[in-house]
């Protein structure tokens, strides 16, 4: 099971659910993830089995299952080279490159986890508490706790099914949306201080860098939700957070649904969804600001 860099609850929850189900039918399973499991996802079953090390004795017919990424490069540069025929791509991103020999890509799914639930139906997998916890985590992550527009009646029905199967919604809420570290809140204050507006107040952007992390004691994991605060300001249609850590600038984009951010991110070489997308840029911050503005303007901001 392969998850993407800077993992979230969807890529990891979907991979863990599949891995746990496959182990039950006697398959040998390993979890590859280049970055460590974020603090707030360590409660997931099997999270402690995840590693960037790949066993040396994998057979030639090993199936590499990529969850929640529009291209295999999102798995990171530590991923060993492999043949396309060994790749299964399970995803819900717009513009998925169908990089696998097998591609199970359903852009109308709210999360990769709900695509995995479809597979489970076909495989007649019984959803127990562990699987339910992983799967409800994928839904709650990618719907922003049932707030984003991908929260359809069907998604709520699936979530109810998972709660009945034993998923602890309170725990997931606490781990993913509450439990903020004080350092994270101090960092949020700094990002808000740096907030700027453009396009008649329809665009809000800000930035974080290594110095701001050092001043507040926060780290990259503490920045994951910050862009949503920018998006939540009155009149804002698009928000961008430019995260300049370790010599690169990761841009996180969020929209209220008017501007297509997958298209804007694709102009910069990145990807994502209509309302949430991203890209890693290199070079000075002001150039990144200009590139972001250019791509968003071209998409009608």
- With CB cut-offs between 5 and 8 Å by kind, which of Mn ion, ligand AMP, none does residue 273 bind? ligand AMP
Distance CA 207, CA 2 (A): 30
Q: Which stretch binds ligand AMP (CB under 6 A): 17-25, 99-107, 108-116, 271-279?
A: 271-279
- With CB cut-offs between 5 and 8 Å by kind, which of ligand AMP, Mn ion, none does residue 277 bind? ligand AMP
Asked if residue 38 binds ligand AMP (CB under 6 A), the reply is no
- With CB cut-offs between 5 and 8 Å by kind, which of ligand AMP, Mn ion, none does residue 11 bind? Mn ion
- With CB cut-offs between 5 and 8 Å by kind, which of ligand AMP, Mn ion, none does residue 142 bind? Mn ion
178-207 residues in contact with ligand AMP (CB under 6 A) are: none
Asked if residue 113 binds ligand AMP (CB under 6 A), the reply is no
Query: Residue 3 in contact with residue 78, Cβ under 8 Å?
Result: no
Asked if residue 169 binds ligand AMP (CB under 6 A), the reply is no
- With CB cut-offs between 5 and 8 Å by kind, which of ligand AMP, Mn ion, none does residue 109 bind? none
Distance CA 181, CA 175 (A): 11
Q: How distant, in Å, are the alpha carbons of 1, 80, 160, 162, 172 from that of 126?
A: 20, 33, 15, 11, 21
Query: Residue 2 in contact with residue 22, Cβ under 8 Å?
Result: no
Task: Please give the size of the binding site for ligand AMP, defined by CB under 6 A.
Answer: 12
DSSP 8-state code for residue 36: P
Asked if residue 278 binds ligand AMP (CB under 6 A), the reply is yes
Query: Residue 262 in contact with residue 95, Cβ under 8 Å?
Result: yes
- CB burial string 2-25: b at 16+ within 10 A, e below: bbbbbbbbbbbbbbbbbbbbbeee
User: Could you tell me the smallest distance in angstroms from the CB atom of residue 159 to ligand AMP?
Assistant: 20
Asked if residue 277 binds ligand AMP (CB under 6 A), the reply is yes
Residue numbers at the binding site for ligand AMP (CB under 6 A): 70, 74, 252, 270-273, 276-280
């Amino acid at each position: 099971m392969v998850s993407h860099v800077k993992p979230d609850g969807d890529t990891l929850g979907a991979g863990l659910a599949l891995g746990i189900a496959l182990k039950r039918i006697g398959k040998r399973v390993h979890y590859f993830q280049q970055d460590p499991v974020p603090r707030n996802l360590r409660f997931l079953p099997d999270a402690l089995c995840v590693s960037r090390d790949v066993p040396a004795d994998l057979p030639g017919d090993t199936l590499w299952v990529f969850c929640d990424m529009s291209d295999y490069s999102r798995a990171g540069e530590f991923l060993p080279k492999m043949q396309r025929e060994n790749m299964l791509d399970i995803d819900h991103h717009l513009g998925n490159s169908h990089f696998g020999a097998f591609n199970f890509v359903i852009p109308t799914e709210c999360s990769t986890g709900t695509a995995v639930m479809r597979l489970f139906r076909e495989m007649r997998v019984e959803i127990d508490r562990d699987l339910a916890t992983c799967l409800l985590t994928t839904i709650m992550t990618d719907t922003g706790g049932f707030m984003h527009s991908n929260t359809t009646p069907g998604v709520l029905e699936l979530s109810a099914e998972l709660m009945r199967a034993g998923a602890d919604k309170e725990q997931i809420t606490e781990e993913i949306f509450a439990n903020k570290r004080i350092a994270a809140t101090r960092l949020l204050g700094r990002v808000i201080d740096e907030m700027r507006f453009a396009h008649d107040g329809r665009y809000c952007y800000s930035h974080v860098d290594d110095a701001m992390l050092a001043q507040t004691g926060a780290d990259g994991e503490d920045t994951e939700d910050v862009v949503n605060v920018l998006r939540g300001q009155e009149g804002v249609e698009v928000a961008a957070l430019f995260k300049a850590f370790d010599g690169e600038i990761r841009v996180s984009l969020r929209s209220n649904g008017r501007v297509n951010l997958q298209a804007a991110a694709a102009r910069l070489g990145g990807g994502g969804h209509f309302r949430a997308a991203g890209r890693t840029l290199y070079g000075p911050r002001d150039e990144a600001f200009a590139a972001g503005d250019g791509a968003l303007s071209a998409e009608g901001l």
